[in-house]
Amino acid sequence: MKMIELAFLAVGGVSGVFLRYGITKSPLLLGALPMNVLIVNVVGSFILGAFAVLSQQWNLDEKYALLVAIGFCGGLTTMSSFALEASNLIDNKQYLLVAINVLTNVGLSLGAIFGGRALTSVILEGGFR
């Protein structure tokens, strides 16, 4: 890996981690359902979806994928925290909340990928003015 690629990866990763920390440092609950990780996963997925379209449309250099897709979105989103939240809910026998947590994190993150791609495509095609 070249030094410039490492720098792009590091800047993206550190930025994503700081944003995730800012969003997740204070628990945000909807009833007993933890929302912080859901928020970072959905926002990160939306950004990744938008970036996928921009990267292809603008034929971006691979170093920008290191910055945004791998670094920033990888630092922002968090599967391990999601899994920990789900296991804590299982330990507390809150099975309905486990199902809701899993379905919302996966479903909304997938939806955000598609939404980010769709919105960015519309904007780039000039249909959103």
Segments making up each domain of the chain, as ranges: 3-124
pTM of the model: 0.84
Coil, strand, or helix at residue 5? helix
Identify the bridge partners of residue 89 per DSSP, sorted by sequence position.
none
How does pLDDT run along the chain (129 residues), one tens digit per residue?
Answer: 899 999 999 999 999 999 999 999 998 999 888 899 999 999 999 999 999 999 999 999 999 999 999 999 999 998 888 898 999 999 999 999 999 999 999 999 999 999 999 999 999 988 655
Predicted confidence at residue 108, as pLDDT, reads 96
Coil, strand, or helix at residue 16? helix
Q: Are 51 and 14 in contact (CB under 8 A)?
A: no
DSSP per-residue codes, 40-81: HHHHHHHHHHHHHHHHHHTT--HHHHIIIIIIIHHHH--HHH
**Within a 10 A sphere around the Cβ of 69, how many other Cβ atoms?**
18
Coil, strand, or helix at residue 30? strand
Q: Are 53 and 124 in contact (CB under 8 A)?
A: yes
